[in-house]
Amino acid sequence: MAEWHVLLNDRIIEKFWIKEGDTVSIGRGKTADVSIDNAAVSRHHATLEMRNGEYLLTDLKSVNGTRVNGHKIEGATPITAAERIEIGKFQFVVAQISEDSYPAYAMVRTSEAELTRLPDMPTDFEGTVFVAPRRLTLVEGKATPERLSLKEKPAVTLGKDAACDVCVAGGKVGKIQCQILAKGDQHFLVHKAGWKRTTLNSKKIHGEQKLRKGDMIGIGGSEIRFE
């Protein structure tokens, strides 16, 4: 488990936490896990993952790019905890913390209005901190609704049938293409039917597949992110 700080002019303006298996999205959009309302930050700017104890930083074809130690990256790039991520005028650095220090709330959003007040704020300003329930967000294609909370939903159906929780458009989409099942605090993806098999991170699925934050579910020509 690690605590990350977002810095502006050497001041901590945000904090977030990441543990094994997590994917944290960074961007200007309201659906980002770390949302920074600044023109230099793209709506979907980058993602930061922890897999097998290692970090993977991915630039999502942002307008202004993502840098590590001053060097611009392209696509997915492995980084170490000692390196510094740069997005516009914002810097992301890591500080290791213990499991006991993990907070109940881990997602952070900072608006442009909050950033303009920084000179009058103490250096330990943390911004607005909250945690969001698991949800599905449409990234590409056509589906209704484009965002669905999974809170208190034991099962969610996705397909072209009007009775589905998420109706996905497409000629090769099954009436009930797939299901997402909640088991405790975990969620699993199960393919049901369709001309094109449901994919998880671009790979066809078989049986139940455990979902991790940031996973991309492919249905026909649509991509839906598990957040």
Q: What percent of the chain has pLDDT over 70?
A: 83
Taking alpha carbons only, the member of 226, 184, 182, 185 closest to residue 208 is 182
Mean per-residue pLDDT for 187-211?
92
Tokens representing residue 72 in the block: 């611009």
Mean per-residue pLDDT for 137-146?
90
How many Å from the N-terminal Cα to the C-terminal Cα in the chain? Answer: 19
How are beta strands 34-36 and 23-27 bridged, if at all? parallel
160 touches 170 (CB < 8 A): yes
- In which region does residue 11 sit, left (phi positive, over 0), alpha (psi from -120 to 50) or beta (all else)? beta
Give the containing element (helix H, strand E) for 94: strand 90-96
Write out pLDDT tens, residues 42-94.
989 999 999 888 999 999 999 999 999 999 999 899 999 999 999 999 999 98
Please tell me the predicted confidence (pLDDT) of residue 92.
96
* pTM of the complete model: 0.48
With a cut of 60, say whether residue 106 has pLDDT above it.
no
